[in-house]
Structure 1
Amino acid sequence: MDQVFDVVIIGGGVVGCSQVFTLSRHGYKCLLLEKEAHLVSMASSGNSGMLHTGFDAPLDSVELSCILKCQQQILPTLSSLGLPYSKIGATMVAWNTQQKEKLHQVMHRAKEDACEISLSQLYQREPHLACGATGALWIPSEAVIDPWLTPISFAHHAKTLGAKVSTSTMVQSCEQDSPGIWRICTNRGVFCGQVVINSAGLYGDVVDKLAGVQKFRIMPRMGQYLVYGSETKSLINSSILPIPTDKTKGVIVFKSVYNNVIIGPTQEETEQRTIPFGLSQQVVNTLLNHGHVTVPSLGSYPVITTYSGTRPATETKDYHVVPHTDRNWLTLGGIRSTGLSSCLGVADMVAKIMKDRFCLEPTNSPNMHLPKVDIFFTNQGTAMLGSQEYTVTHPITYTGKFDKKVCANL
C-alpha cells in the first residue's frame, strides 16, 4: 500500500475497534489489521457482555481509571448509535458469615458505587433467589450490552469516517524505517504508518516481540458459560454476583441484553490461546450446580447452548499501556475480562498519548457526530450495518437474535 496512515492498529477485538472508532473521530487516518476472517473473533468473542463499574479493580490502577472514564460515556454513545443496553444493576450476595465480612470490604472499596441492602430488600428484589443469604450489596450502575454489535458498530462508524479495515491479515514482521515510518509486513502486503498500536489481545506479546519491545507475557485464562432461553428472564432482576477473589469476580448468574440467563464464567489457566470448542461434562455440571444453588428455579429449564472465552491475562493484574516514544509504538496488553467495560476509557487515554507522547497531529478534522446505525440481522447469521455485511461471532448475539432453541458453539 503506497499511503502512510497516521495510525496502524493491530488487532480487531473490542479494544482495537474502540481505538479505530475514537481516533478516527479525532481526525486520525487509521488502518485496522485483524488476522482472523472477521472482527471480534478471538478473546472478544467469548466475553460476558457485562459493563462493570470497577468495584473490584485495583485501586490507582490503569484498569480502574479506564473503566471509570468509559462509564461516563459508553451508555450515551450506545444511545446515540441506537445500540441496545440494559442498566440492570447487580446484586452481590454473601452466603455465610465469612463472605458477609468480605462484603463490607467490597463496599468500602466501591464507595458510592455500592450500598448495603437488608435481607428483606434482597428477597423483595430477587424473589427466586435461594434461601440462606447472609448479606447483600446493591450495585446500581452495572449494565449489559451486546458484546458483538457494540465493537462492530464502532469499527463500522470509523469506516464511514475513512478508516480502513483489513481482515484475514496476519502481521509477519514490523520494521521501522529511518524517517520513523513503520512498515508492517503481512500475508496481504505491506502497510505503513507513523504510529503502531498493538491491541492484539491473546497474541499481544507475540506482536510486541516482532517490534522488539516485549515487556510482558500472555498467560491465557479460560472462562466457560451456560446459556438458557429467554423464557428464564423473570427468574432474576439483576446480575447475581458472588464475593470476588483476588483473581476473579467468580461465577455470575446474569441476563444478557436479549434476556437469556447465563451462568459463568469459570476461571481456568490454560496454555491454549485459541477459543476452545465445547465444554466438558464436568464443567457443565459445575455451572449447573452453581445456577441451581443460586436460583433453584433454573433447574426447571434446559440449557440451550454453551460457549467459552479465553482472556489475555498476564503475570500482573493491571493493564499494560506502554508508549515506546522512541519507537512510535504503543502497547495495549493484558486487557482482560474488563476490556468491554473499559474500552472507550482506554481509547481516550490512547488519544491523549498520540498528542502528548508521540506529538502526532491528525491528518483530518475531528468529526464527533454519531448518527444512529441502520442495523438489520439476516437469516444467515450476519448483520447488515448500512450496506455492509458482518458475520456474527459472539454467541450472546447469535443466540439472542437467531436461535431460540439450540445454538451451536461459534
Structure 2
Amino acid sequence: MTIMNEAAVSEAEKEIEHLMTLHPKGFDMSLDRITRLLEVLGNPHLKLPPVIHIAGTNGKGSATAFCRALLEAGGYSVHVDTSPHLVNWHERYRIGVKGGRGQLVSDADLADALRRVGKANAGQQITVFEILTAVSFLLFSEKPADAVILEVGMGGRFDSTNVVPNPAVSVIMPIALDHQAYLGDRVELIAAEKAGIMKRGRPVVVGYQEFEAARDVLVSTAERLGCPASVYGQDFTAHEEFGRLVYQDEFGLADLPLPKLPGRHQYANAAAAIRAVKAAGFTVTDAIMEKAMTTVEWPARLQKLTEGDLLRHAPEGSEIWIDGGHNPSGGEVIAEAMVAFEERQPRPLYIIAGMINTKDPVGYFRAFTDIAEHVFTARIRGSDAALDPVVLAHSAYDAGLVAEPAGSIVEALQEITRRQVPGSPPPRILIGGSLYFAGNALADNGTPPT
C-alpha cells in the first residue's frame, strides 16, 4: 500500500493551513460567496462532465463508493469529490483515469488549485469548505472524465456543492436527525434541506428512508419540480437471497454477489447507486454490477483491519473494525452489523470512541447498550470540536454502558490486552464515533486511504 509521506503533502497542506488562518472552518448557509468566487474563476462548475450529486444523512459516502465502482467497472473515468477526509486532504479529490482506478489528486495539482482559488477570492469573506469546493470544480473542469460524483458536505439546499444547475441525477440517501442546529430538529425539515439539490426536470433517486415523513417530503418535492423519480421499495429494491444480492427494477432482476462492504444496510445503498448510475444515462450490465460489488471500497465504513500497527497492540487474534458512523441512526446500523458478526462468531465487543461536540453521543451509544462489554473514550486529534474523553465516557454511562477514558486509541488497545483472560476468545473491537476519529485510527495504523 502506498502511503503519502509528509514531504509529499506539505505544499497543499501549507496552502490549506494558510487559508484556515484567513477564513472560518464552519458552515455559512448561503450560495452567494461560492457563486461570486466561481464567476471570478470562469464558472468551472458549468464545464463539468455529467454530475451525480449525492446528499443524505447516512449512506451518501457508501453510495458514492458504489457509484464510482460501477462506473469504473464499466470502463468510465470518474472524478470524485468527498468530505471530510480521513487522513490527508488529498482524499477529497479523486481524479478519473480512463479504463482504470481513479487516483488521489497529486500534491502539485492540489497546491496549484488552492493558490489559484485563494488568489481569485482576493481575501473576501468565505469559508474554507467553500474554497475547497471551488477547488474541486476547478480540478474537475480542467481534467477530462466521463462523470463526476459530487458528495454534499451538509444539508443540500445551501451546501456549496449545490451550484451545479443540471446534474445528470440527484440522489438522496437515508435521512435522520443530524446537524439540527443548521438543518432543523425534525426529519421532514432535514428532508426539505436535502431535497434542495433536486433540479427541475432532472432525474432523482430516493434511497431507502426509515422515516415515512422524510420520504413523503422527498417524493412530493420531486413531483413539484417535475423530476423523474425512482424511489427505493417502489421502483427498485434489493435483498439477500441464498447468500447473494438480488437487485430488481423495471428493467429486470440481477443476481449479484453480496457487496464487499459489510453490513445489511449496504444492500440498499448498492441498489440506490445502481439506480442512480442508470438514471444518469450510463450503461450498467449484469457483468458491470457483479464486478462493482466485488471491487467497491470505502475506508472507515465497517472496515476490518487486516494489517498495520494497531493490530500489534490488541490481543492476538482480535478483530478490529473501524467505522465513521456518528449519529444515533448510524450507531443502530453499526450495532446491527456487530450483532450479525456475533451470531456468526461470538466474541466480547469493546468500543473505542471519539466524537465531536455537535453530535448526540448518548443516542449513539444507546444502540450498543446490550451488546458492548466495555467502552473506552479518547480525544480526536486535530479537531477543535473534539469532546473531552471524560465527558464522552459519562455519555456512554448515561446510555447504560460501562465506560472509562483513555489517553489514546493505542492506550485503549493496550488496556484491552491487559484485561484479556488466557483461554478466552479474542475480542471484537470497534473504533468509531466520528469520521475524524476513524481517520485518527487509520493514521495510527499506518494505512491511510489511497
Indicate the TM-score class for this superposition, using the shorter chain for normalisation. Answer: under 0.3
- Structure ranking higher on relative contact order (CA contacts 8 Å, 6+ apart): 1
| Greater share of residues in helix | 2
| TM-score normalised per structure 1 | 0.26
| TM-score normalised per structure 2 | 0.24
